[in-house]
Amino acid sequence: MLLGVVFLLSGQTLAGSVEVVIRDAVTGQRRTNVTVLPKQALPEVQGSALSPAQIRTLAEDIKVDTLSELLVASAIAVGVMVLFACVVGWWVAGRVLRPLHTITSRARGMSAGNIHERLALTGPDDELRALADTFDDMLDRLDRAFTSQARFVANASHELRTPLAVERALIQVRLADGSPDDPAAVRAELLAANHRLERLLEGLLLLARGDHGLPERHPVDLAAVATRVVSEALANPPTGAPEVRGEVRARSLVVAGDEVLLAQLVDNLVRNAMLYNIPGGWFTVTVDDRCTVSNSGPVISQDTVDGLFEPFRRGAGDRLAGRGGAGLGLAIVRSIAEAHDGTVTAAARPDGGLEVAVTLPTP
């Protein structure tokens, strides 16, 4: 309809322009020596020639008739062209917008149950094809997010069920008779299960906080944070970690972010480097244009490194997994780095251990 209106206005402008041109040609101040008129238009003249007044009257009548016919013909032509333009425009618009209707109908039918389906629109590589491809890419990201969320919920349920099952077994079995043989051992086991549950919940809260982004950002000296975190970790090593030596090589690096979360990021990297290590091993924290944590340890396959950033994914075998980790350390690191618009990469060292590098934007 918009195209029809535009065409109507254009047609009227064209007809008006033609009418002005013809009117100027007919009524303009132009002198002609010869005027040709049809005989049937002449009145009966007997014995005298036409007077100038009669000639002007005849010319005026011819001019009026010509302009009237021109306006009628132009109006009919414009009307026909408008009707034709509307019909053709309707057909062309329907044909062009048909893929858009397909996208709309399929998008309305999308839900969590069929999010694996794709539009897979075919046709020319135009704007609508680009829109459909963008929609498919968005569905791919949502599908991965839903799959990851479902796996996360399943793993979290499993991890939370384990300490609760231990506590329930201790209460029902060891304390069933009201006089356990070794109440101190039962109390220690209950406390250990409770501490594991507490660490798990703290990790989940940190992970959720990192996923929600940062409401405010402030300049933070990452070198000072790393130095403080390493000192505290060496003074209070994680439970079950072997005895290792640590070193900090830092120069001032100011980044924009949340100091508490950045301290948690470095702390997770340092404690992972201490926990998943070998007796007498080492770890190094280097801060220059980024923060890099390297450590000795068992040999890790590069194919499994990327999976270590998934929640509840533990590395270095079940023996090391039993040292108290909940499998959330590197997942929290990645979440905090992404909340700061940064990136985190990891690489297996050829002689054993891991090297994790975090790059954060400066203010």
pLDDT at res. 356: 94
Q: What is the pLDDT of residue 30?
A: 47
Q: Which residues contact 256 (CB under 8 A, 6 or more apart)?
A: 217, 218, 219, 220, 340, 360, 361, 362, 363
Indicate if 188 and 254 belong to the same structural domain: no
Mean of pLDDT values over 124-128: 80
Residue where a domain stops, chosen among 184, 207, 230: 207
Question: Of 175, 207, 239, at which residue does a domain stop?
Answer: 207
The reply to whether 64 falls in a domain is yes
Identify whether residues 176 and 282 lie together within a single domain: no
Q: 351 and 229: one domain?
A: yes
What total of structural domains would you count in the chain? 3
Mean pLDDT of 298-322: 67
Tell me the pLDDT of the chain averaged across its residues.
Answer: 77
- Are 157 and 239 found together in one domain? no
* Crossing angle between the packed helical segments 2-27 and 52-108, to the nearest 10 degrees: 170
Examine residue 180 and state whether it is found in any structural domain, yes or no. Answer: yes
Buried b (16+ CB within 10 A) or exposed e, 347-358: ebeeebbbbbbb
Instruction: Decide if 289 is inside a domain.
Output: yes
- Does residue 84 share a domain with residue 102? yes
- Kindly state whether residue 40 falls inside one of the protein's structural domains: no
68 inside domain: yes
Domain enclosing residue 158, as ranges: 127-207
Q: For the whole model, what pTM was predicted?
A: 0.53
Based on the domain organization, do 6 and 88 belong to the same domain?
yes
Which residues make Cβ contacts (< 8 Å) with residue 230, sequence separation at least 6?
A: 246, 248, 270, 285
Give the tens place of pLDDT for each residue, 251-285.
Answer: 999 998 888 888 888 988 998 899 889 999 999 99
Instruction: Give the pLDDT confidence of 189-235 residue by residue, as tens digits.
Output: 777 777 767 766 766 666 566 566 666 788 999 999 999 999 988 98
- Strand, helix or coil at 250? strand
Query: Does residue 320 carry a pLDDT above 50?
Result: no
Order of strands across the sheet with 354-359?
245-250, 282-287, 291-295, 354-359, 343-348
Same structural domain for residues 144 and 164?
yes
Q: Do 223 and 201 share a domain, yes or no?
A: no
Could you tell me if residue 62 is inside a domain?
A: yes
Residues 102, 132 share a domain: no
- The CATH number of the domain where 254 resides is what? 3.30.565.10
Residues 256, 147 within the same domain: no
Q: Are residues 73 and 11 in the same domain?
A: yes
Residues 330 and 221 reside in one and the same domain: yes
- Has residue 311 been placed in a domain? yes
CATH number of the domain that residue 190 is part of: 1.10.287.130
What's the gap between Cα 151 and its chain centre?
Answer: 21
User: What's residue 319's pLDDT?
Assistant: 41
